[in-house]
Copies of this chain bind each other. A is one copy, B any other.
Amino acid sequence: MEDLKNYIEANKERFLEELFSLIRIPSISSQEEHKPDMIRCAERWKELILAAGADRCEVMPTEGNPVVYGEKILSPDYPTVLVYGHYDVMPVDPIELWNTQPFEPVVRDGRIWARGADDDKGQSFMHAKAFEYMLKSGQLKCNVKFMLEGEEEIGSGSLYGFCEKNKEMLKADIILVSDTGMIATDTPSITTGLRGLSYLEVEVTGPNKDLHSGIFGGAVANPINILCQMIASLQNEKNEITIPHFYDDVLVLSDEERALMAKAPFNLEEYKKALDIKEVHGEEGYSTIERTGIRPTLDLCGIWGGYTGEGSKTVLPSKASAKVSMRLVPNQDSHKITELFQKHFESIAPAGVTVKVTPSHGGEAYVSPIDMPAYKAAEKAYETTFGKRPIPTRSGGSIPIISGFERILGTKSILMGFGLGEDAIHSPNENYKLEHFFKGIETIPYFYKYFAELMK
**Which A residues form the contact surface with B (CB < 8 A)?**
29-32, 90-91, 93-94, 97, 153-155, 181, 195, 197, 199, 201, 206-222, 224-229, 231-233, 235, 275-283, 288, 291-292, 295-317, 320-323, 325, 327, 350-354, 360-361, 395-398, 421, 424-429
Contacts and interface: CB of A to CB of B under 8 A. Distances in A.
A227 B296 CA distance: 21
| Copies in the assembly, this chain | 2
Nearest to A223: B300
Contacts of A308: 302-304, 321, 323
B225 A300 contact: yes
B292 A211 contact: no
30 contacts: A30-B312, A30-B313, A31-B309, A32-B310, A93-B307, A197-B314, A206-B277, A208-B277, A214-B327, A214-B398, A218-B283, A218-B292, A218-B327, A219-B282, A219-B396, A221-B277, A221-B280, A225-B231, A226-B281, A228-B232, A232-B233, A281-B353, A301-B315, A302-B305, A302-B307, A302-B313, A303-B306, A303-B320, A312-B361, A313-B323
Given A222-B300, A397-B215, A352 B277 contact: yes
A218 B301 contact: no
Nearest to A225: B300
Contact of A325 (B206, B311, B314): B314
Contacts of A299: 213, 217-218, 222, 224-225, 316
A23 B97 CA distance: 38
Contact of A218 (B153, B396, B428, B429): B396
B303 A154 contact: no
A314 B426 contact: yes
Contacts of A221: 277, 279-281
A219 B291 contact: yes
Contacts of A426: 210-213, 313-315
A312 B306 contact: no
A280 to B, nearest CB: 5
A162 B357 CA distance: 51
B300 A228 contact: yes
B214 A397 contact: yes
Given A91-B309, A221-B279, A302-B307, 15 more contacts: A90-B315, A91-B311, A97-B209, A197-B214, A208-B275, A209-B424, A212-B396, A212-B397, A214-B395, A220-B275, A224-B302, A299-B316, A302-B315, A304-B308, A312-B360
Nearest to A180: B215
Contact of A93 (B32, B309, B322): B309
A79 B224 CA distance: 48
